[in-house]
Amino acid sequence: MSSLILPAVLSGLTMGAVYALVALGLTLIYGVLHIINFAHGSLLMLALYAAYFLFVHLGVDPYLAIPILLPVFFCLGYALQRWLIAPMSSGSEQNVLLVTLALALIIDNLALYFWTSNTRSVDIPYAYNTVEFLGAYLPLGRVIAFFAALAAAPLLWLFMTRTRTGSAIRAVAIEKRGAEIVGIDVNHTYAICFGIGTACVALAACLLLPTFYVTPQVGYTFVLVAFTTVVLGGMGSLPGALIAGLLLGVIESLCGLFLGESLGQIGIFIAFILILLFKPSGLLGRRAA
């Protein structure tokens, strides 16, 4: 068993990178804007289908689909927030919850209606390629996802801290009324943030597709872990989401190895409970004023 620990840790890191990628968009929307986006998993599923159909019908490799789907899903997210979620919720957080829940139900059922419950996966030439590292064979697709997560989190962090739009998003998150007074278009900023979060989901989907399958229910496989990742990392903290994602991946992998795969996910939720008990603001989250 001891010979399996290192491969399991490495495998957990690459799986954790996927969790981090899914959580990056969520931490922007949920963590920064305090919008509990129940549709996050459904949007992930939608992006997976988009990448799948691009591959099947147009032969676009999932990785090459990234520059296509990122702007498309940014626009989708922007439109959803600007013209659906915001008007329907009327500024109430409870209403946002209900609207995103309704959105999730609608997207899921439309997917079921149009694409049926069939499981789909892509048969790409490099599907079984691996990278040998310290004696462990790591699936190429997951290694790519790992480095993409390592790159995406700092890039997003730079965007949030070094650009005017990023500053506007943070300003709106901290003090909405104040931001409005200094001339920030709050509705536009909210929609931009939601759009970026949705584009992150598209990025996660393109990186996930070569190693995973697509069904109308696939979003739920990741969304609960994504919420846990956001809370563990600290609400709104992009580096926190990355670290938490990687940590959860390793915890899950090691728990699976030592306690059995059926109990692997226990580790995730034990970590979640511990962080709520001892550091409710998360690993890198700011303490509430």
Shortest Å, Cβ 4 to other proteins: 5
Shortest Å, Cβ 254 to other proteins: 9
Which residues are CB-contacts of 272 (< 8 A; sequence separation ≥ 6)?
A: 228, 231, 232
Shortest Å, Cβ 158 to other proteins: 30
Sign for the pseudo-dihedral over CA of 77, 45, 275, 98? positive
d(CA 241, CA 236): 8
Which residues are CB-contacts of 68 (< 8 A; sequence separation ≥ 6)?
A: 54, 60
d(CA 241, CA 154): 11
Q: Which residues bind other proteins (CB under 8 A)?
A: 1, 3-4, 7-8, 11, 15, 109, 112, 116-123, 127-128, 130, 137, 139, 211-213, 215-217, 221-222, 252-253, 256-257, 260-262, 264-265
d(CA 30, CA 285): 13
Q: Which is nearer to other proteins, 31 or 264 (CB)?
A: 264
Q: Which is nearer to other proteins, 192 or 232 (CB)?
A: 232
Shortest Å, Cβ 233 to other proteins: 19
Q: Which is nearer to other proteins, 47 or 193 (CB)?
A: 47
Q: Which is nearer to other proteins, 6 or 276 (CB)?
A: 6
d(CA 95, CA 97): 5
Shortest Å, Cβ 1 to other proteins: 8
Q: What six digits make up the tokens of 243?
A: 């670290």
Q: Which is nearer to other proteins, 86 or 208 (CB)?
A: 208
